[in-house]
Every structure is written in structure tokens, then in C-alpha cells.
Amino acid sequence: MGLFVRKPIQSLIAEATNEEKGLKRTLGATNLVALGIGAIIGAGLFVRTAAAAANNAGPSVTIGFIVAAIGCAFAGLCYAEFASMIPIAGSAYTYSYATMGEFVAWIIGWDLVLEYAVGAATVGIAWSEYLNKLLETINPGWRIPYEWSHSPFEVLKDAAGVEIAHGIMNIPALFIILLISLLLIRGTKESAIFNGVIVITKVSIVVLFIVLGWSYINPVNHATYIPTPSVFTDSQGVDHNFGGIMGILGAAGVVFFAFIGFDAVSTAAQEAKNPKKDMPIGILGSLVVCTILYILFAHVLTGVASIEDFRTTGKEASVAYAIKTYMHEYKWLADLVTVAILAGFSSVILVMLMGQSRVFYSMSVDGLVPKIFSDLHPKFKTPYKSNLIFFVLVGGFAAFVPGDIVGDMTSIGTLFAFILVCIGVWMLRVKHPEIQRQFKTPLVPLVPILGVLVCGAMIFGLGWTNWARLLGWLAIGFVIYFFYSRKHSKLNNP
């Protein structure tokens, strides 16, 4: 027993088959694909595409999407093997516990808080901002007062720098997190149905933009598809490698944020009806669908509007700007884009809050966090106390902290999880080749190695400030582990 004690694969498989004490199995392959699409297609598609085109790659942002998708695909293949073999809630945390030991599992479980809980709070704050934009579209005089839609640390000033309003509390952000937390408590199936409706809505609007915008593509905007390498300085004074290979790689790092979420499908493994078959379909299926939509969307957007548009007047709400400026007959579509963004935010919050509660459910079962996180509702069979606790934490963050505080911590946490999953698949193939695998990652160890390299390169590209934040967050986790988790671990204290 010690820091690197591993949870036996056999006990994990036995835990997965115990439906009486565990989570309720209600999700099919279609639900899981929709869950993945719900997590992936959020505001990232509508915001990051134009930013990457303007600052890094021009029209070749489509190639950046392909590079980012390849990196996600390597990790996705590894996730699919684990999820089909160990269909337990907890995602990368559970896989790490079985392959690299308890201490590494704790690190990744704590790290996933960055991706899910902090990410959900950040998206909740953005949801509040876009709600005000939608209200203003309906009626220019409609708007939730600044004081009640911003944190106490935010101040609204006029052009002369005089304070006009001071934030008190972000009520809309708190409201959407409460609403989705209650929905998750009601049941996973109900949450999946709600998510499915949202997915249909926002995918329909994305497809509408692609179909209607295709005839408005100006060949001039695509004349130089891969711009000549240069340095572009944005309005904040930050230099970016623009054009060429470095520009495409920079764009891949930017649009990677738009792919965050497909791994959250694996946190629902214990609620899948037929996890060995459905989990690979859910993970890889959602990734393929979103990649195709992303590439087509980016191609149309960069064809309809120019790079200069995205750098100047069209920088904010770039998609709506492109439609209103160049697609005059379809101004109503610009309003629908705002609706799609709101819907996208809602489903991202849902999947992130669900993922967070499922990770802590597994950690609680193992004794690494208090038992309250694994208490199930007697009727709905959901970890309702965990949902309520995370509502308080995530809701508090969304209501009282500015959204830009988080920065890129969500992404670095996700990439770190991807690396550990890739390593874990390779290790488990060597140590336990006898275990039945419904889905096998091809070309092991080549695919895991490539996954580690691509994700590692993206972490490197995020810069030292984000490395420092990650190390600081992990330091807090180490204190909790050594003062609580190790003493209460069921494996270390049988």
C-alpha cells in the first residue's frame, strides 16, 4: 500500500455490473453522441473561429481545426478503449487509478475540477452576457441592470473614465447554473432529453449558416488560403505568428478550446445501457460530427467576410456581423446565431456539471473525498448532494467572480488529462493484455505516443503563466490529499 497503489481492474468491472447500488443505466448510443455534441459545440465555434483566422491563420484556420481534431482523435481513441473496458463513472480519474496508482489518480481527479467546475462557472458568466444581447435584440430598451449581471469586481465606466455602474451580483449566471443543477438531480435521462433538444437547435443553425452562406463566399477572401508568414500585433499589443505552418499551429492551439468536452462523455460510462458498445460510438461519433461541422463552418465564415473584418469592426459577434454585413437577405439568421450561442452555453454547462459530479462520485466511492459526494437520491438515483454542493461552489464563482480570471486553466487541465489517458492505455496493454476489450485503440503504442506529443505541444504553447497556475492548483490538491484523502482511502486503509 502507498502512493501508487492501483485499483484492481477486476473490482472496477465488478463495480460496473452492480446496478442496484450504482447509478441508473439510461443512456443509449444516440444520447451519448448528443451529449458529446452538446459539450463540444458551444460558443467556441462562433467566437474562436474568427479569432484564430484574424490572429493566426487566415482562411487556413480550417487546417488548424484539422490539426486540433487529430490531437483530440488520438486521445479520443484511447478514451474509447478505456470506456469500453472499464465502464465506470469518473473518466480519466478512474483510468489513472487502474494504471498509474492512487496519487496520480488524485492529481487527475483534482485537475478535472479545472475543466468541469471552473469551466461551467466561466460559461455561466458568458451565458449571462449573451442573454443581455438577446434581450437587446428583441427590444433595444430591454436589459438586465449592470449591477445584477456583473460581479462586485467589475465596474462600468464612460468614455471619460467616470464610473457609471458597479457590479453587485451576476444573477442570470447563478440562475442558469441552478436550473441545470436541478435538472441533473431530476435524472440523467431527463437531462439527456433536454440536451438533445438543444443539440438539434444549435446544429440546425450551424447547418443553416453553412448552406445559406455558401453562395455568399467571395473568392477574393480565399485567394491566399495559407498567408505568407508574418507577425501580427493585435489590439492588446500581443504578437502572433500569422500565416505559414506556425500560423496554422497557432490556430490549432486557439481552436482546440472549441473541442473541449468530448471527454465528458466518458464520465457517463456507468449510466450507459451498453457501455462496451455505446461509449466508443459516443466519444468518437461526437468528435467526427463536430469536426466536419467545424471545418465547413470555418470555410464559409472566412469566405463570407474578410480577415480585416475580423480584426476590426467584426471582431465582436463575428458571425452575426458577417451575416448582417454580407448576407442582407438573412439578417434574421444573425439573431438565431445569438439563440444558438445561448443554447450552446446551456448544454455545455449541463455536460460539465454532470461530468464534475460523476468524477467526485467515483472519488467518493474510493474514499478520497467525503461520502456525501456519492450519496444517491432514493428515487432518481443521481448524486443529488454532489450536484447541490457544486451548485453552491460553481454558482458562487459565477455570481461573484469575473469570467476572465480563469484564463486558459480549463484547457491546460483538459490537455493534462488527455496525456495521462494516452499513457494509461499503453501501460494497461503491457500489464493486462488478457482483459477483454470491446474496442481497441489501433497502432498501440504509436497512437498513445502521438497523443502525448500533440497534447504536450499544445500545453507548451499555452505559456509559462498557465503552467504556474496549474502547479499552484495542484499544490492545493496535494495538501488535501496528504491531510485527508490518503487517510480515508479505501485501498490504503482496507
Kind and range of the H or E run holding 172? helix 171-186
Residue 400 lies in a domain: yes
pLDDT of res. 475? 92
- Provide the sign of the torsion angle of the four alpha carbons 173, 178, 183, 187, taken in this order: positive
Residue 2 lies in a domain: no
Taking residues 358-384, report their average pLDDT: 87
Residue found under cell 478514451: 79
For Cα atoms 354, 356, 357, give the angle at the middle one, nearest 5 degrees. Answer: 70
Neighbours of 189 (CB within 10 A): 16
Confidence of residue 20 (pLDDT cuts 50, 70, 90): low
pLDDT at 379 over 90: no
pLDDT of res. 269? 62
Tell which phi-psi region holds residue 161, choosing left (phi > 0), alpha (psi between -120 and 50) or beta.
left
Residue 306: closest CA among 230, 216, 202: 216
Taking residues 408-436, report their average pLDDT: 81
Residue 77 lies in a domain: yes
Residue 493 lies in a domain: no
Taking residues 470-477, report their average pLDDT: 88
pLDDT of res. 222? 92
What are the DSSP calls for 37-85, one per residue? HHHHSSHHHHHHHHHHIIIIIGGGHHHHHHHHHHHHHHHHHHHHHHHHH
CATH number at residue 288: 1.20.1740.10
pLDDT of res. 79? 81
More confident residue, 342 or 218: 218
What are the DSSP calls for 362-379, one per residue? HHHHTTSS-GGGGPPPTT
Taking residues 39-59, report their average pLDDT: 79
The whole-angstrom separation of Cα 143 and Cα 137 is 10
Stated length of the chain: 494
pLDDT of res. 290? 87
Least confident piece of the model among 186-190, 204-208, 415-419, 443-447: 186-190
Of these ranges, 49-58, 169-178, 406-415, the one predicted with the greatest mean pLDDT is 169-178
Domain of residue 361, residue span: 9-488
pLDDT at 241 over 60: yes
pLDDT of res. 88? 65
The whole-angstrom separation of Cα 66 and Cα 291 is 7
Residue 3 lies in a domain: no
For 277-302, write each residue's pLDDT tens digit.
Answer: 777 788 888 888 889 999 999 999 99
Residue 4 lies in a domain: no
pLDDT at 210 over 90: yes
Confidence of residue 352 (pLDDT cuts 50, 70, 90): confident
pLDDT at 485 over 50: yes
Distance of CA 168 to the CA centre of its chain: 28
Query: What is the number of structural domains in the chain?
Result: 1
Residue found under cell 454558482: 395
SS3 143: coil
Confidence of residue 407 (pLDDT cuts 50, 70, 90): very low
Cell numbers of 262, please?
Answer: 468530448
Confidence of residue 18 (pLDDT cuts 50, 70, 90): low
The whole-angstrom separation of Cα 130 and Cα 172 is 10
Cell numbers of 308, please?
Answer: 480585416
Computed over every residue of the chain, the mean pLDDT equals 81
For 93-124, write each residue's pLDDT tens digit.
Answer: 877 887 888 998 898 888 887 778 887 887 88
Strand pairing partners for 157?
A: 163
Neighbours of 281 (CB within 10 A): 21
For 153-174, write each residue's pLDDT tens digit.
Answer: 778 777 677 788 888 999 999 9
Residue 45 lies in a domain: yes
For 121-138, write each residue's pLDDT tens digit.
Answer: 878 887 887 788 788 778
DSSP state of 380: T
The rounded radius of gyration (Å) of the Cα atoms in the chain is 22
Residue 190 lies in a domain: yes
